[in-house]
Amino acid sequence: MEGPPSKRWRAVALVLVLVLDLGGLGWCGVEGCWEEERVALLQLKPFFNRLRDPVKNKMRYVLYNWVEDINSDCCKWEGVECDATNGKVIGLSLPNRFYLETGSAETHSWFLNASLFLPFDHLKSLNLSGRVIQGCLPNHG
């Protein structure tokens, strides 16, 4: 005869907790970034990937590891900081690196589409230093 239902349910609950905890489903930590945020970062890439090198006077591409590979962990991408417990993007650092090195800002101004940042609902810091942003476009999100 089987044991009392309460003991059986406790055993099932314990096994379930162990499977969820050890199974890597993110309950005790997260591996990788959220798909929605990975896609949103790739939508930002064209706006922040090219910089004019003032010394060589040519365009350069900078976000080399921002790739469209589903197995690529965007939390490890250049300029991206994620929360260690939930994997959400909490920081983006997309400065004009030539500005940081030479003090020379971009020569053209542009309008920022702030709605591109809407998917980052845990974003706490955004570094766009050296970018000559003339203003913002109305939100389209």
pTM: 0.68
Copy the structure tokens of residue 83: 């929360």
- Rounded CA-CA distance 130/132 in Å is 6
- Walk along the chain (141 residues) and give the pLDDT tens digit of each residue: 555 556 665 655 544 444 444 434 444 445 678 999 999 999 999 888 876 666 677 777 788 899 999 899 999 999 999 999 999 999 999 987 655 555 555 556 678 888 899 999 999 999 988 777 888 877 655
C-beta of residue 90 within 8 angstroms of C-beta of residue 83? yes
64-to-18, 20, 68, 76 alpha-carbon distances in Å: 39, 35, 11, 12
Q: What pLDDT sits at residue 62?
A: 80
C-beta of residue 51 within 8 angstroms of C-beta of residue 100? no
